[in-house]
């Protein structure tokens, strides 16, 4: 997927080794910061996969991009492989209920996984269920069924299917089915009848949003396989992580990193830079940053301009609070504006951070002592500079600054 077909030959990307590593459909071998959730899911389904007895059902819940689908697939694959070592015949079926929202559709998907050449079109759901049962009995299969985005199935079809699957052993005593239900929240259980809800036994596994540090670990884990050596600049992964941390969404972070690489590729840049991330972010998210500028106070606007100028002049990813403050004082003198004190300037930084115009982080390795580093958030640098300059001229602050326009 990382190459482009041209005249029958594959063109190697100067940026990517394998773009698919960053795509949602890719299931990694390792899941940083989801070890405890994986262990919990395995504890529920491992015995069933090995013996076919005492089916357990488990619910995985959390926001989008928190690793639920990956954990469900990896855990199912792991117990299937373990079962084979004991000569048990375990298998799993994965159905995305966002795409398949009817009882007939879900049962057809399961049937086709068990018997790829089966034709279910036109068959009643009862016959498809019988077909599934006969295949399980015939192959002595201990089946784990993952229903991803199960909320959509419940909205369109109610809990009829869940009722049938959780009681499959009543029709096929030797072949019960274990369910892994994946949802964005536990609210879906409110739609279940008491009989279905009771079968879940509150086997719930929560997936909290990722922190910026955790997202950085996830991106670094994919970096070597996804990108050519040394093409992603050091600050890029941290910047992507910070931008994605508000929702704690790993899918968003991976897509942002991929689109940043595409920006670099399109520009024919040798490396992926922070500015490529800003452009990619602004294409993914409707930025309210420029709309916020008219509502800023004069000194907030000057400070924002100070940060933008330092980022541009130094061609750097971040500037220190000290450098930004010195530039702020210099601009105030140039604009013939009385500067504010340090504590007020720090307050402006926090305010601009809270509305999403700036990102701040504590300095790490390579810098002496601890200081606050600042960068522009999701808006590209040049358009932001131009818009700030317009605001300064509009307010007649920059008349003596040499800004024309």
pLDDT for the residue 5: 36
For residues 291-326, one letter each, b for 16 or more C-beta atoms within 10 angstroms of the residue's C-beta and e for the rest, the string is eebeebeebbbbbbbbbbbbbeeeeebbbbbebbbe
User: What does the alpha-carbon distance between residue 1 and residue 3 come to, in Å, rounded to a whole number?
Assistant: 5
Identify the CA nearest to 297 among candidates 399, 398, 391, 404: 391
Instruction: Kindly give the residue spans of alpha helices, DSSP state H, lying in 335-402.
Output: 342-354, 381-394
CB atoms within 10 A of CB 355: 14
Cα dihedral 150/256/353/211 (nearest 10): 50
Instruction: Look up the domain containing 41 and give its range.
Output: 35-207
Query: For the chain, what is the largest distance between any 2 Cα atoms, rounded to a whole number of angstroms?
Result: 87
365 in a domain, yes or no?
yes
Residues 331 and 345 in one domain: yes
Domain boundary among 207, 224, 239: 207
User: What does the alpha-carbon distance between residue 279 and residue 276 come to, in Å, rounded to a whole number?
Assistant: 5
Sequential pLDDT tens for the chain (405 residues) = 333 333 344 457 999 999 999 998 898 988 999 999 999 999 999 999 988 887 889 999 999 999 999 999 999 999 999 998 888 899 999 999 989 999 999 999 999 999 988 888 889 999 999 999 999 999 899 999 999 999 999 988 999 999 999 888 888 877 889 999 999 999 889 889 999 999 888 899 999 999 999 999 999 999 999 999 999 998 999 999 988 988 889 999 999 999 999 999 999 999 999 999 999 998 887 655 667 888 899 999 999 999 999 998 888 888 999 999 999 999 999 999 999 999 999 999 998 988 878 888 876 555 555 788 998 887 788 888 988 999 999 888 865 444 543
Query: What's the structural domain count of the chain?
Result: 3
Task: Report yes or no: 111 and 60 within 8 Å, Cβ to Cβ.
Answer: no
- Residue 323 has which token pair? 């450098």
Q: Which CATH number fits the domain that encloses residue 188? A: 3.40.50.300
Residues 95 and 240 in one domain: no
Domain boundary among 164, 183, 207: 207
Residues 242 and 203 in one domain: no
Instruction: Kindly give the residue spans of alpha helices, DSSP state H, lying in 268-363.
Output: 274-284, 289-292, 298-314, 321-334, 342-354
Residues 50 and 176 in one domain: yes
Beta strands 372-376; 58-62: pairing state: unpaired
User: What does the alpha-carbon distance between residue 83 and residue 343 come to, in Å, rounded to a whole number?
Assistant: 63
Identify the CA nearest to 228 among candidates 32, 30, 25, 2: 2
- Residue 399 has which token pair? 């008349």
Residues 75 and 138 in one domain: yes
Residues 64 and 128 in one domain: yes
Handedness of CA 396, 400, 401, 405 (dihedral sign): positive
Residues 230 and 345 in one domain: no
19 in a domain, yes or no?
no
For 351, list phi and psi in degrees, rounded to 5: -65, -45
Residues 271 and 333 in one domain: no
Beta strands 58-62; 141-148: pairing state: unpaired
217 in a domain, yes or no?
yes
Domain boundary among 188, 207, 226: 207
Task: Report yes or no: 321 and 374 within 8 Å, Cβ to Cβ.
Answer: yes
Cα dihedral 338/342/352/375 (nearest 10): 110
Residues 301 and 272 in one domain: no
Q: Which CATH number fits the domain that encloses residue 355? A: 1.10.10.10
278 in a domain, yes or no?
yes
Ramachandran region of residue 230, left (φ > 0), alpha (ψ -120 to 50) or beta? left
User: What does the alpha-carbon distance between residue 358 and residue 402 come to, in Å, rounded to a whole number?
Assistant: 25
């Amino acid at each position: 997927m990382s190459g482009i077909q041209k005249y029958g030959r594959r063109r190697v990307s100067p940026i990517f080794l394998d773009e698919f590593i960053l795509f949602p459909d890719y299931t990694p071998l390792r899941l940083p910061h989801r070890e405890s959730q994986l262990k919990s899911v395995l504890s529920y389904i491992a015995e069933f996969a090995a013996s076919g007895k005492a089916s357990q059902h488990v619910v995985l819940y959390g926001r989008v991009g928190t690793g639920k689908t990956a954990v469900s697939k990896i855990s199912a694959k792991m117990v299937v492989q373990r079962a084979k070592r004991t000569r048990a015949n375990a298998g799993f079926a994965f159905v995305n209920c966002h795409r398949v929202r009817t009882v007939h559709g879900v049962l057809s998907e399961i049937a086709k996984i068990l018997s790829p050449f089966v034709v279910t079109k036109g068959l009643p759901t009862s016959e498809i269920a019988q077909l599934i049962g006969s295949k399980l009995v015939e192959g002595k299969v201990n089946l784990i069924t993952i229903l991803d985005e199960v909320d959509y199935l419940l909205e369109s079809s109610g809990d009829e299917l869940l009722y049938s699957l959780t009681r499959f052993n009543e029709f096929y005593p030797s072949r019960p089915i274990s369910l892994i239900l994946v949802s964005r929240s536990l609210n879906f259980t409110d739609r279940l009848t008491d009989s279905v809800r009771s079968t879940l036994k509150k086997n719930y596994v929560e997936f909290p949003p990722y922190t910026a540090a955790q997202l950085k670990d996830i991106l670094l884990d994919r970096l070597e396989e996804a990108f050519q050596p040394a093409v992603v600049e050091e600050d890029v992964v941290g910047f992507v992580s910070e931008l994605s941390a508000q929702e704690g969404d790993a899918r968003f972070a991976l897509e942002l990193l991929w689109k940043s690489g595409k920006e670099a590729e399109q520009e024919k840049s040798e490396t992926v830079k922070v500015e490529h991330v800003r452009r990619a972010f602004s294409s993914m998210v409707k930025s309210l940053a420029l709309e916020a500028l008219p509502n800023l106070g004069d000194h907030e606007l000057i400070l924002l301009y100070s940060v933008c100028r330092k980022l541009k002049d130094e061609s750097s990813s971040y500037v220190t609070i000290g450098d930004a403050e010195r530039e702020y004082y210099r601009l105030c003198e140039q604009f013939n504006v009385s500067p504010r004190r340090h504590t007020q300037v720090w307050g402006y930084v926090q305010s601009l951070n809270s509305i999403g115009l700036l990102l701040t982080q504590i300095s790490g390795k390579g810098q002496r002592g601890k200081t606050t580093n600042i960068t522009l958030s999701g808006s590209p640098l040049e358009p932001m500079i131009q818009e700030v300059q317009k605001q300064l001229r509009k307010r007649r602050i920059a008349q003596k600054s040499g800004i024309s326009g």
